[in-house]
Amino acid sequence: MNLENTPAKLLVTGGAGFIGANFVHYWLNKYPEDQVVVLDALTYAGNRASLASVEDNPQYTFVHGDICDTSLVEQLLLDHGLDTIVHFAAESHVDRSITGPDAFIETNVIGTHSLLKAAKKVWLDMPKADGLEPLKHRFHHVSTDEVYGTLEPNDPPFSETTAYAPNSPYSASKAASDHLVRAYHHTYGLEVTTSNCSNNYGPYHFPEKLIPLIITNILNDKPLPVYGDGKQVRDWLYVEDHARGIELVLREGRIGENYNIGGHNEWHNIDIVRLVCQLMDETFARDPALIKKYPSALQAAAGNSASLITYVTDRPGHDRRYAIDAQKSRSELGYEPVESFESGIQKTVTWYLQNDDWWKVLIKN
């Protein structure tokens, strides 16, 4: 499938979530003639306000619904003549998967299977029943580096050939969904691609995640929780660079292949926390108006945000290190992150300071 030749018609599942919403903004900005239909159940991490700026775009349609509703997905594919699914919808918070794994199996495994069934029926089975060739299509599945398990400090980064070894209910559910996507390609001929990405950061990130949690807790003068010794290592990727990577997979990726999308940017969690503290202190020092806007940010105003760092008991089965080898994406797709970490993290801090109307309603008192 070559999306260059004709305007694409995309179904974006989970498009009101963090990465999905950023992808929708990116795609509609770059491809204004394409049609984008967002399907989102608007659970706790789905926020329609993240898509407010595109609500009036005639090329955009929002549907409040569940990916587990196979008949709804089928109807959307038919009614809108959709030829591409970009599947973001997922329960993704590891802590929540430990305390309540059922929702992760339901959404990540059963939900993905529901989408695959609908895609197979509309794009393959229905044309075949009429004596026609399959409709042109692509099913792109967005996964995570967590399916590969954990790395020791000197281990090489995860590649596409690394064996799966998920360690949490979340990563196990994503691994299962990856395998289902692969099976629907090899068994039925569904044209699929999968991408496994490293930790994303940027605008519209739900405040329970590490970087926005640190920013918003500083603004509310709340403790900054750090699991264990804080030496867990993650590879950080600016969310728009992830959207750009998915675009390249859709346009240049080989059917049936997996592509790792990473930021080449490993950091210890504690160092990320300290960096955000430093940036917040510096930003408050440069702009005294912030002290009036955020009167609760007492430590940031005093240039001492790091005093809020609080070490807490490590979570069960906490993977020590993730790192992505994106050589395949570089060589086959020409993928490279555009945003440096220095510029990306500053953009992220600035976005949260300027968009408190978005995140304040999401924070529990």
Q: Is 216 among the domain residues? A: no
pTM of the model: 0.94
Q: Is 331 among the domain residues? A: yes
Q: Is 281 among the domain residues? A: no
Amino acid (one-letter) located at 327: Q
- Give Cβ neighbours of residue 67 (< 8 Å, ≥ 6 apart): 13, 14, 39, 41, 73, 87, 89, 107, 111, 112, 114, 115
- 239 and 201 Cβ atoms separated by less than 8 Å: yes
Confidence of residue 73 (pLDDT cuts 50, 70, 90): very high
Predicted pLDDT of residue 97: 81
Per-residue tokens: 304: 């001492």
Q: Is 350 among the domain residues? A: no
In the chain, how many domains are there?
A: 1
Q: Is 270 among the domain residues? A: no
* Residue 151 to residue 33: CA distance in whole angstroms: 43
First and final CA of the chain: distance in angstroms?
A: 48
Residues identified as active-site: 145-146, 170
Average pLDDT over residues 157-179: 95
Average pLDDT over residues 222-244: 94
Given a cut of 60, is residue 156 above it in pLDDT?
Answer: yes
Average pLDDT, the chain: 94
* Residue 47 to residue 39: CA distance in whole angstroms: 12
Check which CATH number belongs to the domain holding 104 and give it: 3.40.50.720
Q: Is 304 among the domain residues? A: no
Q: Which of 113, 130, 131, 230 is nearest to 180 (CA)?
A: 113
Strands of the sheet containing 60-64, edge to edge, are: 60-64, 35-40, 9-13, 84-87, 138-144, 192-197, 258-261
Q: Is 149 among the domain residues? A: yes
Given a cut of 60, is residue 347 above it in pLDDT?
Answer: yes
Predicted pLDDT of residue 315: 79
Q: Where are the alpha helices (H) located in 158-268, listed in sequence order?
A: 169-188, 210-219, 239-252
Range of the domain at 124: 9-201+239-263+319-338
* Residue 210 to residue 315: CA distance in whole angstroms: 14
Q: Is 268 among the domain residues? A: no
* Residue 245 to residue 223: CA distance in whole angstroms: 35
Per-residue tokens: 24: 């929708």
Average pLDDT over residues 173-182: 98
Phi, psi of 130 (to 5 degrees): -95, 10
